[in-house]
Structure 1
């Protein structure tokens, strides 16, 4: 994790117009963080010090179970807030958020301006809309998982989770995410490979035909 300062900080604050989400001057409370791939933005069980606003990159949301198992909940793509539930005190301790590519996040120091944040009607209105859209997206994802074959869902997932056309997710994790058997997942990967959309390279897959994958993914929409 790197903390960006000076002109770099100003650049990202201006580029992603975070000030438009608030009715008070937010810039004194904002820091810009650069997370490398594999870094944790938020550790599970911790109380976040920052309300993060991811503006570049991709990340994964995880939860741990009492039996020691760890489950992938969702992929996170910008622009998205992270730690907003903790800010509202509905949930004291957070789930894990780990980067799957280099990420840029604008971090708002919660303790320095929590009262201002919770009294800002403009920000709270935006947050309500954001949380509503987030809830709708989760419901839609669940419906998609029930209504479409794995081939379509996997095509969409590969496009979402790949970095520079390389897909490297764990089969065990993804089979659980989709609620299918490991064998079914491997069979579907083989189908996409035979169709010339992807190619297996050691422990990963390379995207060969993005348009065909996108066409499969678009059938879900």
Structure 2
């Protein structure tokens, strides 16, 4: 991890995300940039919280790990996302791990600044409420899908989510197959078997990280409109 201050870069992100409106106009005295490389842990489960993090560039994943090494992925996050909100509100250690899955830049604010100053600001509390509700809704929806539907149905829905224009047939995956497996709550091997099953059914063709949709009608039927 690299730490530094850069007022010009900070002003760019401040303008882009209207940080003064959320935190207040005294941010210049408290912020730091923390740059994490791919694979580095930003937050480690059960460790104390020292910073409230804003992801402003890059991509990170939140996950927990069992004693035997199995990973339960909670979510992928891109800018702008925050980490440490629940822990600061409840005065607890980190409840999950957060890992950079590509080089990622965060704006870090000390916990004391957040808890003693920002928590008394209406706009900051509104910001926390909105973001926490979004996280809860996303987590609840994903958990429900993983419990109620087989992987084949969830995978079909996942592929269809990548269609950005009507009639699109070729989609390019932006995540690795390992990340997709974690996102869908399964193993890489099970994901690979389901992809091959969809291929044998004549619904898709696979070329590396590109998937060609051959039969969108039946793929949508399989997705059960998740």
Q: Residue 193 and residue 16 in structure 1: after superposition, are their counterparts in 2 closer, same or farther (change >3 A)?
A: farther
1:190 matched residue in structure 2: 196
Secondary structure of residue in 2 paired with 1:105: strand
Pairwise mapping of residues 99-114 of structure 1 onto structure 2 (< 5 A)?
99-114=100-115
- Cα deviation 1:79-114 (Å, max 9, x = unaligned): 221011121134223421001122222211222453
Question: Within 1, Cα distance between the matches of 2:34 and 2:214?
Answer: 33
Aligned length: 209
Map 1:59-208; keep pairs closer than 5 Å: 59-67=60-68, 69-154=70-155, 165=173, 167-170=175-178, 174=181, 178=184, 184-191=190-197, 196-200=204-208, 206-208=209-211
Q: Which secondary structure state, in structure 2, belongs to the residue aligned with residue 189 of structure 1?
A: helix
Alignment partners' CA distance in 1, 2:97 and 2:21:
28
Sort the Cα spacing of 1:59 and 1:179 in 2 relative to 1 into closer, same or farther, 3 A. Answer: closer
For the residue of structure 1 that corresponds to 2:117, the secondary structure is helix
Q: Which has the larger radius of gyration?
A: 2
RMSD over equivalenced CA pairs, Å: 3.5
Residue equivalent to 1:203: none
TM-score (norm 1): 0.74
Q: Tell me the TM-score normalised to structure 2 length.
A: 0.72
Is there any run of 5+ residues in structure 1 with no aligned partner, and where?
201-205
Q: Distance in 2 between matches of 1:80 and 1:38?
A: 18
Cα displacement (A) at 1:58: 1.8
Query: Is there any run of 5+ residues in structure 2 with no aligned partner, and where?
Result: 163-171
Distance 1:180 1:110, change over 3 A: closer
* Aligned 8 A contact 1:19 1:27 in 2: no
Q: Which whole-Å CA distance do the structure 2 matches of 1:151 and 1:45 have between them?
A: 35
Quote the offset at 1:139 in angstroms: 1.2
**Could you tell me how far apart the structure 1 residues matched to 2:205 and 2:73 are?**
25
